């Protein structure tokens, strides 16, 4: 009898714990600025806001579903081959995303070229699978995956917004800055994205002092 009660308690769909899973990745546990995961693809696709948005949606889908699938399978995967199993699940999902983009958003697909394939090695995926999905229930894992995907996407879009604004004087391809503004080519090279992330980390850590690195 007591067992069923425990089970019922943990199946509330949006308890406090579940809400934390969704909101933590925005600040205290952001995948990019705190966990340092998934920076590789963050840099290449942030030249334009549109690409960043596509990337954010793609990564959110893949993190959510891979977390869900691995969490469902977690008790049947032998420990020695778990990495290969995880990678196969991720790779299948990414292949689906790639084919969908190829079919419906061909120009974005062309611009992002190898970086869609590189979602597979986006460390967020493996990191969340290892750290969360292997040890938690499917519903919580799905929320954790979506939360991390959105937290990742938020940084991506913020970086892309500034890069496109100052690098091309436009947002979403529409010119917003007046004509006298000369676009700054520095913002278009990948190094600018690194600087911007560095500055975002700086701002975040000066507001949230418990994240400061003491060493």
Partner 1 sequence: MEYINIFIKASFVENMVLSFFLGMCSFLAISKKVKTAVGLGAAVVFVLTMTVPINWLISNYLLSENGIFHTDLTFLKLIIYIAVIAAMVQLVEMVVERFSPALYSALGIFLPLITVNCSILGGALFMDSREYELGEAAVFGFGSGFGFFLAIVAIAAIREKLRYSNIPAPLRGLGIAFIITGLMGLAFMSFIGIKL
Residue ranges that bind partner 1, judged by CB under 8 A: 33, 36-41, 43-44, 83-84, 87-88, 90-92, 94-95, 98-99, 113-114, 117-118, 120-123, 126, 189-195, 197-199, 201-206, 209, 212-215
Q: How far is the CB of 139 from partner 1 (least distance, A)?
A: 26
- CB-based contacts of 22, cutoff 8 Å, min separation 6: 143, 146, 147, 150
User: Which residue lies nearer to partner 1 by CB, 173 or 198?
Assistant: 198
User: Which residue lies nearer to partner 1 by CB, 176 or 186?
Assistant: 186
Element (DSSP H or E) covering residue 170: strand 170-171
Distance of alpha carbon 44 from alpha carbon 56, whole angstroms: 13
Q: How far is the CB of 158 from partner 1 (least distance, A)?
A: 14
**130-168 burial by CB neighbour count: b if 16+ within 10 A, else e?**
eebbbebebebbbbbbbbbbbbbbbbbebbbbbbbbbbb
Q: How far is the CB of 151 from partner 1 (least distance, A)?
A: 16
User: Which residue lies nearer to partner 1 by CB, 13 or 214?
Assistant: 214
Q: How far is the CB of 196 from partner 1 (least distance, A)?
A: 9
Distance of alpha carbon 46 from alpha carbon 153, whole angstroms: 10
User: Which residue lies nearer to partner 1 by CB, 176 or 203?
Assistant: 203
């Amino acid at each position: 009898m007591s067992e069923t009660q425990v089970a019922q308690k943990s199946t509330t769909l949006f308890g406090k714990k579940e809400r934390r899973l969704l909101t933590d990745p925005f600040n205290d546990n952001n995948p990019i600025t705190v966990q340092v995961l998934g920076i590789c693809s963050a840099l290449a696709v942030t030249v334009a806001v549109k690409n960043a948005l596509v990337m954010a949606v793609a990564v959110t889908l893949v993190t959510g579903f891979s977390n869900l699938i691995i969490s469902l399978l977690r008790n049947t995967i032998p420990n020695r081959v778990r990495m290969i199993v995880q990678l196969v699940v991720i790779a299948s999902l990414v292949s689906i995303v790639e084919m969908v983009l190829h079919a419906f958003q061909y120009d974005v697909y062309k611009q992002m070229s190898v970086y869609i394939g590189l979602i597979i090695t986006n460390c967020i995926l493996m990191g969340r699978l290892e750290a969360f999905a292997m040890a938690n229930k499917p519903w919580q894992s799905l929320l954790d995956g979506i939360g991390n995907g959105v937290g990742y996407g938020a940084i991506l879009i913020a970086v892309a917004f500034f890069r496109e604004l100052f690098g091309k004087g436009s947002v979403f391809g529409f010119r917003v800055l007046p004509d006298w503004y000369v676009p700054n080519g520095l913002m278009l090279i990948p190094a600018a994205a690194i600087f911007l992330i560095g500055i975002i980390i700086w701002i975040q850590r000066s507001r949230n002092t418990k994240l400061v690195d003491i060493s």
